[in-house]
Amino acid sequence: MPLDLLAFAAHRDDIDITCGGLLLRMAEKGYQVGACDLSQGEMGTRGSAPERKAECEEAARILGLAVRVNCGFPDAAIFNTREYQARLVEILREHRPKVVVLPVHEQRHPDHRITPQLVFDACYFAGLEKFGTGKKHRPHKILYCHSSFEDRKPTFVVDITAQMEKKVAAVLAYKTQFPDREKTAEWLRARARAYGLMIGTTYGEGYTQREVMQVDDVVALPVASI
């Protein structure tokens, strides 16, 4: 079954932290939701690849994902190469997502910084008839997880108040990565609270898109101006 939404990130746990609330909310709405981790996170200071795999499977269960794919790219060695583009094109054509969610471009970890451009290029090439094998497919919409370190505001914020506790549980499933459960939960809630304040809800996740948004009914627009 084709996916409605497919999120990509460099390492296991990145997706859960950045857009876990959105994935939960969309899955609860009945959409087919998936995630794709580019590497196994084997270069991480804590834990091993097998441990992180087991943790990732538990997190995927909590998030209600229809599928969670791992590309097996080497951790700390993700580059925008034709080989990696071709692998991602295969995944995009197999799962045929309508919406793709990517990390924001400007980040400290080189893998995080390269991932959004690599996947964006693969999304483009996946729509070319003569690129590789399989039936062409290009996602309709690409969204970027907003970072609290960005200067500009997010394009929109998703209310994840009802999904917050499950999101926290999904992140805490990575026991090797977050041994201080209380501190991690506090950090996640503080981060989500900052976005929630932007739209008058308790918790939120911020996103950006390159395109101008279409509005059909200005009277029904949420979030008060004054």
How much is the pLDDT for 107?
79
pLDDT (tens digit per residue) in 167-218: 999 999 999 999 999 999 999 999 999 999 999 999 999 999 999 999 999 9
225 inside domain: no
Q: How far is CA 82 from CA 86, 133, 147, 193, in A?
A: 6, 14, 28, 40
113 inside domain: yes
CA–CA gap between residue 155 and residue 132 (Å, rounded)? 34
135 inside domain: yes
Type and span of the H or E element at 223? none
How much is the pLDDT for 99?
98
Mean pLDDT of the chain: 95
CATH, residue 123: 3.40.50.10320
- Reading the block at residue 8, the tokens are 């990509």
Q: How far is CA 122 from CA 8, 108, 113, 127, 191, in A?
A: 12, 22, 15, 9, 30
pLDDT exceeds 90 at position 149: no
Question: Rounded to the nearest 10 degrees, how much is the dihedral formed by the CA atoms of 15, 18, 23, 28?
Answer: 130
DSSP letters spanning 49-103: HHHHHHHHHHHHHHHT-SEEEEEEEPTT-----HHHHHHHHHHHHHH--SEEEE-
226 inside domain: no
Instruction: Compute φ and ψ for 41, nearest 5 degrees.
Output: 70, 30
Percent of the chain's residues with pLDDT above 70: 99
67 inside domain: yes
pLDDT (tens digit per residue) in 36-53: 999 988 877 687 888 999
DSSP code for 200: T
22 inside domain: yes
CA–CA gap between residue 136 and residue 132 (Å, rounded)? 9
114 inside domain: yes
Binned at pLDDT 50, 70 and 90, residue 137 comes out as very high
What number of other Cβ atoms are within 10 A of residue 204's Cβ?
Answer: 27
How much is the pLDDT for 109?
87
What number of other Cβ atoms are within 10 A of residue 77's Cβ?
Answer: 11
Binned at pLDDT 50, 70 and 90, residue 150 comes out as confident
- Reading the block at residue 200, the tokens are 């008058």
**Residue 201 is part of which domain span?**
5-220
pLDDT exceeds 80 at position 148: no
Contact call for residues 101 and 3 (beta carbons, < 8 A):
no
Number of domains in the chain: 1
